[in-house]
Amino acid sequence: MAGMWLGLGLLFHLVGSGVWSTVTAPLRGQEGGATAFKHVAISSVRTLIDNLSVEQIQYVLPADSVLKSYEDHMQQHKGIPNILKLLDGTQAFWLGNPEADKLIIYVPGGGYCIPALPNHFSHVEALSTDLKNHGKDIGVLFLIYDLAPGAQWPRQLEQAVSLLRYAIETLGKRPSDILLQGDSSGAHLALAVLSHLAHPKLEGSVAALSLSEKLGGAMLLSPWIDFRTHFESYKENAARDVISAKSLGRWAQAVMGDFTSDEYSHPTQAPTGWWKDLPVARIFVGVGGDEVLLDSIVAFAKKLKAEHSEVSISLVPREFHVEPITDFLWKFPPGAQFQAMASWLNQTFAQ
């Protein structure tokens, strides 16, 4: 019965939003999505996630749905699923060549509440294929961290550090051959790992990890690095983005709970000089001009660039939150941000 009412509610919100955004699309001007299709699609998805609780979202997309997405992806690409399970229960899925010297540790987004979606795997596969076409053989460990509110911070940081430790100490990968990549909350988590490497937490459950050399790189797409929603871009891009202050606030509460914020969970709280000692050779920060997170990301990226010598900032106009990933859901050809990411990855793995 609960499922029936949830389904009816979803249908009501979807149809209502779809009809309204379709009617208003020709009149949107610069206030809505970059194209009429994007405007309708973005508005519909935003309306849905704004009106669904975390529990409702996870009813529709349970945590274990990511396994089917991965298995379907591997079947589509004529591969055999290869699932890694660490001693603490953390899982990661292999993509690419596990025997390759070069490794990407991918941390998916989803507000810490939504499991990785099929287009996440398509996105990673496309980047891996581009690298392969340029003569670079890589493996990908796709982290499956525990979702909030069942698991709250810093559990996800523990898991990400554990996977990196496994790659170095068990698989024997050189840190300089490893790249951390994440989108949205996954980019937030990747950044927290870098902070922990540079400034090990002296208390809590996240064990220190000392590196013999710097990591090869870190790629942060649409990083959710500030949970505050007072920025002007939240107003300016409210009708242009797929996420909103309402949904982000709900997800932040789910993952952080009563946790006392610090430099790892809230990187914008980090003092001056915090980022200069990050043990990573190169960093990419990508953001779309239509994101509600735009102002917070740009401000943070500039601070990061002022303290780290190798930071690339890619701001693409009229792209919304993690659009290079969503494009694969809508079967769109890769856009400008995807091309920038692919180029940066090729340059990084060539060094």
Q: Give the model confidence (pLDDT) of 205-229 as tens digits.
A: 899 999 999 999 999 999 999 999 9
Q: Residue ranges of the chain with pLDDT lower than 70?
A: 1-30, 202
The 3-state DSSP class for residue 327 equals helix
Residue 11, pLDDT score: 41
pLDDT computed for residue 86 by the predictor: 98
Which pair of structure tokens corresponds to residue 202? 């002296």
* Chain-centroid distance, C-alpha 199: 23
In one-letter notation, the amino acid at residue 209 is L
Which of 197, 228, 215, 222 lies closest to 291, judged by CA? 222
User: Is residue 227 helix, strand or coil?
Assistant: coil
Cα(first)–Cα(last) distance of the chain, in Å?
57
Q: Which residue has the tokens 């581009």?
A: 130
Architecture in CATH for domain 65-229+236-349:
3-Layer(aba) Sandwich (3.40)
Chain centroid, CA 177 distance in Å: 21
Phi-psi region of 193 (alpha: psi -120 to 50; beta: other; left: phi over 0): alpha
Q: Three-state SS for 15?
A: helix
Q: What is the pLDDT of residue 343?
A: 98
Instruction: Note the pLDDT of residue 17.
Output: 40
The pLDDT value recorded for residue 30 is 65
pLDDT at 201: 81
- Considering the entire predicted model, what is its pTM? 0.92
